[in-house]
Chain A
Amino acid sequence: MKLLIKGGRVIDPANNRDEILDILVVDDKISKVDKSIDEEADKVINAQGKWVMPGLIDLHVHFREPGFERKETIRTGSRAAAMGGFTTVCCMPNTEPVCDNDIVVEFIKLKAERAGIVNVLPIGSISKGMKGEELSDIGRMSKAGICALSEDGKSVLNAGLMKNAMRYASMFKLPILDHCEDPSLTGKGQMNAGERAAFMGLAGISNDSEEVIVARDMILAQSTNTPIHLCHISTAGSVTLIRQAKERGVKVTAEATPHHFTLCDEDITDYDANYKMAPPLRSKSDREAIRQALSDGTIEVISTDHAPHHTDEKNCEFQLALNGIIGLETSFPLANTVLVEGGYLTPYQLVEKMSANPAKILGINKGNLSEGSVADITIADPNAEYVIDVEDMVSKAKNTPFGGMHVKGKILYTIVGGEMSVEDGKLMKR
């Protein structure tokens, strides 16, 4: 099977390339990348005016399986990933049971393989049952194929245990994806502390609830000389702390979500829980700091924190509503609209943050369009304009505040291991 992608703008930061090129895929591999490839192919994609990128990689999704299949399954989440241009996603361990042992890891891998839509890499929990008391079976999970460790949804509050986890994980070269939140500072908070919360009568969550753990875990990364990846950074203070830590040589990387660089607390008007997430939407000035940090490289990854919930879990009292929104199908258009069109990122930097850098953090041979690599390729039309329609989404969940928003940038092809998961904007695998 030969697939020829003709005349697209090939954006491939891993190979320091951004030019008009052809790509020949033979079976599951990229066979040739060159100026003008004349070859008989079984299929030809005319990519003129389109971006041809290494398949997008999301370090941070929740696929809810096992345990919460009414919200999302590995199969339905994989569909959403493919429609969003993602060829590889890493799924967080806060399932039921928690992914804290090799049996659950094998289950997730099996389900992902059966779905066969995108690459789904399981993340193991740091502590057993995510209780923060003792380490999970990290070594056995590593053998079974986890890509990282995380306690996402909360922090490991015992600093000694966290330090041990960092030292132990480094043996297996497993990155730690760190959710930073001190629950004693979050308290009963429901949204960002500030004027909007005062106006709405909702208890506030102050920036320090994130920043104290950001600071703590960067100190631990320094003392153990191990890497740390900070999830969904939301405050200006965290950005400053990360910059300072990088200057003194701490091996820290960080991610931001589309909702934190697109929205702010002022968007919360009517107790609509589709605006409720952890960390919360912050102030306008925090949002600007996040955009600047993406621009100057302080934050090197865009992750969705795709967090599906059932309608009942969002259409209820704000305080009872669960945290999180879905993000896979809106991530690329939002990043393109807000960050590229907004002048914060070049297309090249965008691809770094959505593919090359996540691959680097995971230490996997993906996120590039090198000859000989597995053919994970995403093709997008950066100029297609449309209004986001929640009804069009393929995720099982509909919890997003982005319905009705005008965006620019549409995923046309998601090619996973040489096979079309999305073709011409349509889902090919169910």
Chain B
Amino acid sequence: MKLKGTQILLKALEEENVDVIFGYPGGAVLDIYDELYKSTMKHILVRHEQGAVHAADGYARATGKVGVCLVTSGPGATNTVTGIATANMDSIPLVVFTGQVPTGLIGNDAFQECDITGITRPCTKHNFLVRSIEDLAPTIKEAFNIARSGRPGPVLVDLPKNVMAAETDYDPANIKIRNYEVTHKPAPKKMANVFEMLTSAKRPLIMTGGGVILGKASAQLTGLARKYQIPVTGTLMGLGSFPGTDPLWLGMLGMHGTYYANMAISHCDLLLAVGVRFDDRVTGTIKTFAANAKIVQIDIDPSSINKNVVVDLPIIGDTKATLTDMINFLAKHNYTYSPADRQEWLGQVAEWKGKVPLTYCQNGKEIKPQYVIETLHKLTKGNAIITTEVGQNQMWTAQFFHFDHPNTFISSGGLGTMGFGLPAAIGVKYAFPDKQVVDIAGDGSIQMNIQELATAAQYKINVKIVLLNNGYLGMVRQWQELFYEKRYSHTDMTYAPDFVKLAEAYGIIGLRATKPEEVESILKLGLSLDKPVLMDFRISREECVYPMVHPGESISNMSLGSREMIN
């Protein structure tokens, strides 16, 4: 049976089990939207194309499925670029469909034409311009396969208007594409090496990253750490891959990592790094990073190996399959650790934890952002999916909300995209309507995609926004305070809308707390309401994120802020 391109697109999406598209219509995709009008496919109309990509991204991070967007050509397409680059840096599977002018006009500077495959080439895993109707169905199938296989990532598919209007036969059972799956090759020799390294190590440490969450390897990693009593630290992207309330958990490492995680990295003699890429925010100066340790690195992507940190034993493979092999090998060969050595190491770690715990000064007069997050954790019992914006709000969340489960901390790690949290929360909440989904935001970031409040209101997607409002671009201000002698160049954002009134204008609920004693009751109320709620917490204006490793410094050399921080 002959079908039109627009019909094939929707059928192909059904084949891929797509249950929602985040999108925004326009000239080049009118035919597709006309088909959507007749279809049962769910579509969430965002208010800006960047919001569509972040929403699909949040959906993908929380569900582990491929997120899907649909936008028009030209500006619609270019508006997706920040979202695509965000997903690319964090290896999130997306398929972004962009409209394109008819093939005959490509290259002629037609109205709303842009070379979006050229623009997104460096920030997608792959992209396609569909040149003929016969290529459409195979391309869509390839796009989804590429997005979710191996190290996942965003794929863009550019759809010229005339191709979508053309007709061809559609037979999904007979579409042949290349195999993009990475086959797992067991490496017994490497497992023997790991065995030896673990046996001779006195101070082993596990460092878990986003690859453990993407690879669905949290259970294996947790099992390994608990069985052999190995303490665990994590990167920002790894939060939730090991239970944040487990005594073996040391919290995040790196620039705003905990004192004890950074000390453990600097003193361990064996570092088992799983699904990490040793970002500069994690390592501090490379020279002293884990300087006393032999490093084992497990990653699915060979290009992540020896990129920043030269490792002693690279193992290229899927994190889940490789950790499973490792657990089996260690058990089969009766790996045991010296209880005395381990007790000493865990004792040392506990001593560091006791010396400089993660804390802040609660003066009773001002709302401290850390207190808001701690209270949110208490009230939700940690049973919530949290998205963040970028900056101080993100770092405080990473420090003070103890994530016990994978796929529950949704944040732009690599690119650090302000404006991510609200649309991402909408995508998450769409996927998990019964879960408490909270965007922990800053007043700077939230304004970058504030228009998505309308999306939440329209579809009754009841996200909760915890706005840590200090009237500053807080993280930039913090750097200006510490490194630019308090010259607060263009970081004062006191001129801002009244967020409560703004929320009300969008048809959602706005609440405000200005005193510490109001925090808990406002949070309780906001979380209990069956509507989108924006809670405006007027926090201590010049609170800084500590610990902080100064740029270019060794991560064991941390600034701890004011003295009262250290109990």
Q: Do A and B come from one complex?
A: no
Q: Which residues of A contact B (CB under 8 A)?
A: none
